[in-house]
Structure 1
Amino acid sequence: MIPLSTYLQSKEKKIFKMNRLELLKEIKKTETKFFLLKKELNALTKELFDHEQAIKMIQNELQKYKRLPFIVCTISEILKVKEVVGAKYITNTDKVDVAGKQNNVELIVINALTRLKYLLPNSGLIKPGVFKVGDLAAISRDGLKLVDLLPSEYDPRIKVMEVINQPNQQFCDIGGLDNQIQEMIEAVIYPITHKEYFEAFRVQPPKGVLMYGPPGTGKTLLARALASNAKCTFLKLSGTALLQRYIGEGGKMVREAFRLAKEKAPTVLFIDEIDSIGSKRRNSERGSDHEVHRTMLELLTQMDGFKVNENIRVIAATNRPDVLDPALTRSGRFDRKVELPLPNEKARVQIMRIHAQKMNVSPKVNFEELARCTNDFNGAQCKAVVTEAGMVALRENKVQITHEHFLAAILEYYKVLLYFCLKDCLNN
């Protein structure tokens, strides 16, 4: 392409060499070109005005379709067809013998709340290719036009159970469970944070981990710490919350929980008190037992339905591992079993030190002696002793928690324990 400056210089040289007749002829030619360009400009201006009017008309029409309320529908099928001018919709596999332009058209089959099915083309308000089977869509009442895609619908009870922010518990907040923490890190955190190593060695990480042990030994606290260190969503479910009055409600909650876990992946799904829905199956005439078994079967189906590389780890906790169904504890579902026993003397010292480090405690407190006085205490009870010692110091208007305050807290706990033991003996 010749630069404009070079073209003008060459044109100027030619003009200087022209005679009078040649100049008049060149001027007439230029005027003709100018007239044609002006005519073309007027035509384009009119065409632009027509397009602007058409756009305004379409926008007004779209506003009519976007008026609330909408009809909420579920997309059940997506069809890819070709549209031929002057012909009907035909599938991609059919041969086209009709002359005309072919355009790819996306047809959507939707299920309305009125139990009717509609076959609708994409109106153009939604970008093609973003539809998925099972999505919720909004259609206008006038004209049945696809207006917008709606967010996924979850059971509100499941939505409440989601922990949006990552838990702030750390492994340093847990005392006496060093071996168990290492086992849980290998089974839960490493498959999420070091996924490439498992793929390189072709090692399949466990889908689920079962934690069992007496109450108050730190099962929930350990699950929260795992989710915090893996930097993933923590979703807690209670086994008793899955027991519903109506048939099928428990299974629906399990499905929604796993669906939400996949949406929020990486996710740690923690099921507490799993023995309430995972007990051994037996012949029973009661309908409630049948509903419990249906909920457990749905849990088994969901655990078999997701792959190990989907960054979902299921952790279950129970106080009664002996009552669990063998189908639930077999390999391929809960591959890793981790026992959380009652803390020994050394573990009780660690637990009380952890909970006392944020309090104004005297340096003369002998935690080893306190641990010997709290035989058979679980982790929650050791924490309660530290809290009660602080309350005793507050009652006495002290500025520091001393060793005597801890002993008074332990004595207070034994008084309560003795009271309930005597009450049970008198009732029996």
Structure 2
Amino acid sequence: MATVETAKVPVAVHAGGDERRAKAMEEHRRLSVGQIIGEVLKQLDADRFIIKSSNGPRYIVGCRSRLDKTKLVQGTRVALDMTTLTIMRRLPREVDPLVHNMSMEDPGDVSFEGIGGLSDQIRELREVIELPLLNPELFARVGVRAPKGVLLYGPPGTGKTLLARAVAATLDINFLKVVSSAIVDKYIGESARIIREMFAYARDHSPCIIFMDEIDAIGGRRFSEGNSSDREVQRTLMELLNQMDGFDELGQVKLIMATNRPDTLDPALLRPGRLDRKIEIPLPNDQGRLDILKIHSTTLSREGDLDLDAIVKLSDGFNGADLRNVCTEAGMFAIREERDHVVQEDLMKAVRKLGEAKKLETKLEYDKV
């Protein structure tokens, strides 16, 4: 009897191994064959779902036992077996290429220490964006709702985009940079769809910062008159307003908007609850210009000391970008003289040259928003 039993044991084990191997091969065959993309419409019971395939028809199908069925909610994209239409796996949300390109934007190695003359503005911006993301319990303890977004406005070249990049780089979280004019599409409804997908992507990848530059391209004041393109921009604005304070809370998604023309923005966009704080980024004063020059002149190869105070006196009305250009032009003067270092005279020539060019620029007056 013992001989018979010992002969049976290896046979049973061998048969079980063949069965598992066959199941594994069948599973591999199913996963290696092309699959159909579908969308879950409704769950009927514990094992059956109504799905809509990419071809159009709707089916009642089953699901792989290994899948977490609690995640197969309405709207979930799934992969279906070619023959049985069984749900094989859950797929990530479909992302528009334009939204994907927004997420690829790298804020770069920017820090607040590299931004001069804006200490008060930096403090206000960090209170609205950084504090709710890092310490949300502070707002719950006080009993107030955390701000959703901030508007940065002021003349060109004063550092609005640089501030947004510094916030994203400091927090090291997901960052979507949106050029608002690129959202507007010639086809009706496409611009609003991109706005919806952008906010859906940000919610799925929270915490996330959405930076919308040149917001006046889609956030302009609405009028009763206008052509079809104006109405498309208005539809885009209404979708943006809905996403900012609709039924779906933004949660760990924060908005930073920037513009040179705050006077053209729609009042509905500016109201508290959507943009809770408006921060003016003005032209730097004397101390601010000195701080900016110190930052940009640290990389210059120099001979002797540079009198930056003299440059500050000649640079009234210059913005941060102009002051950086002063250092660049000084380097160009040094190269023209076949030198490998910058001297004081190079900076003086550069600031005078840019001062003449600044006379041709149009000045805008900014009222408090």
User: Are the aligned partners of 1:65 and 1:145 in contact in 2 as well (CA < 8 Å)?
Assistant: no
User: Are the aligned partners of 2:39 and 2:77 in contact in 1 as well (CA < 8 Å)?
Assistant: yes
Q: Give the SS at the match of 2:75.
A: coil
Q: Please give the alpha-carbon distance, in whole angstroms, between the structure 1 residues aligned to 2:267 and 2:75.
A: 34
- Displacement of 1:166 in angstroms is 5.7
Name which structure has the greater RCO, CA cutoff 8 Å, separation 6+. Answer: 2
User: Are the aligned partners of 1:189 and 1:226 in contact in 2 as well (CA < 8 Å)?
Assistant: yes
What is the letter of the counterpart of residue 256 of structure 1?
E
Task: Indicate the larger mover: 170-179 or 125-134.
Answer: 125-134
User: Are the aligned partners of 1:189 and 1:230 in contact in 2 as well (CA < 8 Å)?
Assistant: yes
Aligned twin of 1:315: 256
Structure 2 residue 39 is matched with structure 1 residue 74: yes
What is the letter of the counterpart of residue 208 of structure 1?
G
Aligned twin of 1:122: 63
User: Are the aligned partners of 1:385 and 1:409 in contact in 2 as well (CA < 8 Å)?
Assistant: yes
Q: Pairwise mapping of residues 120-269 of structure 1 onto structure 2 (< 5 A)?
A: 120-124=61-65, 126-163=67-104, 167-269=108-210
Aligned residues: 361
Q: Please give the alpha-carbon distance, in whole angstroms, between the structure 2 residues aligned to 1:212 and 1:417.
A: 21
User: Are the aligned partners of 1:108 and 1:119 in contact in 2 as well (CA < 8 Å)?
Assistant: yes
Aligned twin of 2:367: none
TM-score by structure 2 length? 0.91
Aligned twin of 1:272: 213
Q: Give the SS at the match of 1:236.
A: strand
- 1:293-337 deviation digits (Å, cap 9, x = unpaired): 1111111111113436x2211010011111111110001000101
User: Are the aligned partners of 2:149 and 2:275 in contact in 1 as well (CA < 8 Å)?
Assistant: yes
Unaligned runs of 5+ in 2: 363-369
Q: Please give the alpha-carbon distance, in whole angstroms, between the structure 2 residues aligned to 1:225 and 1:195.
A: 20
- 1:46-74 deviation digits (Å, cap 9, x = unpaired): 44343333333333433442343221112
What is the letter of the counterpart of residue 267 of structure 2?
P
- 1:217-254 deviation digits (Å, cap 9, x = unpaired): 10000011111222322211011011111111111111
What is the letter of the counterpart of residue 307 of structure 1?
E
- Measured on the aligned residues, the alpha-carbon RMSD in Å equals 2.2
Aligned twin of 1:368: 309
Aligned twin of 1:97: none
What is the letter of the counterpart of residue 172 of structure 2?
K
Structure 2 residue 299 is matched with structure 1 residue 334: no
Q: Give the SS at the match of 2:48.
A: strand
Q: Give the SS at the match of 1:334.
A: coil
Q: Give the SS at the match of 1:129.
A: helix
Q: Please give the alpha-carbon distance, in whole angstroms, between the structure 1 residues aligned to 2:284 and 2:26.
A: 71
Over 3 Å counting, the alpha-carbon distance change for 1:289 and 1:350 in structure 2 is: same
What is the letter of the counterpart of residue 410 of structure 1?
V
Aligned twin of 1:377: 318
- 1:132-187 deviation digits (Å, cap 9, x = unpaired): 33222111222222222223221111111114656321111111111101101111
What is the letter of the counterpart of residue 379 of structure 1?
G
Task: Indicate the larger mover: 332-341 or 361-370.
Answer: 361-370
Aligned twin of 1:58: 23
Q: Please give the alpha-carbon distance, in whole angstroms, between the structure 2 residues aligned to 1:281 and 1:342.
A: 30
User: Are the aligned partners of 1:166 and 1:232 in contact in 2 as well (CA < 8 Å)?
Assistant: no
Q: Give the SS at the match of 1:106.
A: coil
Q: 1:387 aligns with which of 315, 328, 334?
A: 328
Q: Please give the alpha-carbon distance, in whole angstroms, between the structure 1 residues aligned to 2:109 and 2:356.
A: 35
